[in-house]
Structure formats: structure tokens, C-alpha cells
Structure 1
Amino acid sequence: MSVLEESDFDVGNINGLLDSADFELTRAILTFLIRQERFGEGTWGEAAKEGHFLKVLERLKELTRR
């Protein structure tokens, strides 16, 4: 089972999930966002508008400070 499957990943709640995500889950979400552009052009733009990339970077910063 993948990290995303284990976390009950919901694409509509990425920012909410990141609030308590550990490093592995945060990395899996970032990988998911990056790969989605391959299947749907404009996905990165939408993720940027929704604040997903910023939230991932903020979470990674928080996790690496611990």
C-alpha cells in the first residue's frame, strides 16, 4: 500500500492533510502534484493557485526544523 493510500489521501483536501503530514507523506504529496502535470496540462498552475506548492514547502521547512 502506498503512503497516499495509507493516509486516506483526498485530492480535495491536500492543504488540510499537510497540516499534520509527516515527511514521507509530504514528499508523497509533492511527488503526486509533480506527476499530475504529465496527465493534465495546467495541473501545476491550479496547484499553485490553490496554495498546494507553498503549503508543501512550508511543511517541509517545519519538519526539517525539528
Structure 2
Amino acid sequence: GLDVVKDLLNVPGYQEVKVVAVTAYSTSNDKAEFLQGGCTHYIAKPFRKQDVISLVASILTKEDHNAA
């Protein structure tokens, strides 16, 4: 998981890619580990479909504003 994220972020052109951790690990320490490990967002299982849709929409909206 986090090894793949680190490898991905080291690929030229991918330093700004958004990574959402989707995991059953749901303690505050787990969340901190994922975010410190390179993930930009975190969502714990079980999750509602609407939670994922809202998160992705939020990420895309920020991307649109940054591109303008």
C-alpha cells in the first residue's frame, strides 16, 4: 500500500497526484500514518457510497479551481 504510494510519487510528473486511502484501518493513528505516508485523503471502511462520491467531487472541484 504505502510502498506503492511512495513509488508512485517518485515517478516524474506524478508528484501532485491525489491518493485516497480506502482502508479498514480506522484509528486516528492509522489515518495519520496514511496521510504521512503520502496519501492525500483517507476514507475508512465501511463507508457509504455517498461519502466516496462527495470526497471525489471535492478533490475534482479543487483540481478545477487550481487549474483555472
From the CA coordinates, give the structure whose radius of gyration is larger: 2
Compare relative contact order (CA 8 Å, sep 6+) and give the higher one, 1 or 2: 1
Q: TM-score range by the shorter chain?
A: 0.3 to 0.5
- Which TM-score applies when normalising by structure 2? 0.33
Greater strand fraction, Structure 1 or Structure 2: 2
- Which TM-score applies when normalising by structure 1? 0.34
Greater helix fraction, Structure 1 or Structure 2: 1
